[in-house]
Copies of this chain bind each other. A is one copy, B any other.
């Protein structure tokens, strides 16, 4: 087993594209993914799983049908399964997302121009 720390800043330096999550680690059948976001995502939900968002750099707002939560570095939020949400960032935000392997970023029912390839490691 290699004894190498996973460094978020180093991993973020390896890509610039937005809305394209990159897998950096697995925990059983869960994945840790880094993503850069800016602007408005699409409304979607994940009917079979919760989804965790941790902000590494910048500010993320997650809109819900009945409100919103704003996250800064050192903050996290878990979106419960089935709850419609829409990430938004005025300026680019760097995120860590934790969810089971195979979850589609735009939700299971919404193919969209923002649907990203799955299981891309960095």
> A89 an interface residue at 8 Å Cβ cutoff?
no
List of B residues within 8 angstroms of A5 by Cβ: 69-72, 75-77
Could you say how many copies of this chain the assembly holds? 2
Docked Cα-Cα span, A95 to B111, in Å, equals: 37
B-facing mask of A22-55, CB < 8 A → 1, else 0? 0001111010100000000000000001111000
Whether the pair A67, B8 counts as a contact (CB closer than 8 A) is no
Q: Does A114 contact B (CB under 8 A)?
A: no
- The answer on a CB contact under 8 Å between A98 and B27 is yes
Residues of A within 8 A of B (CB): 1, 3-9, 25-28, 30, 32, 49-52, 56, 64, 66-72, 74-78, 80-81, 83, 98-100
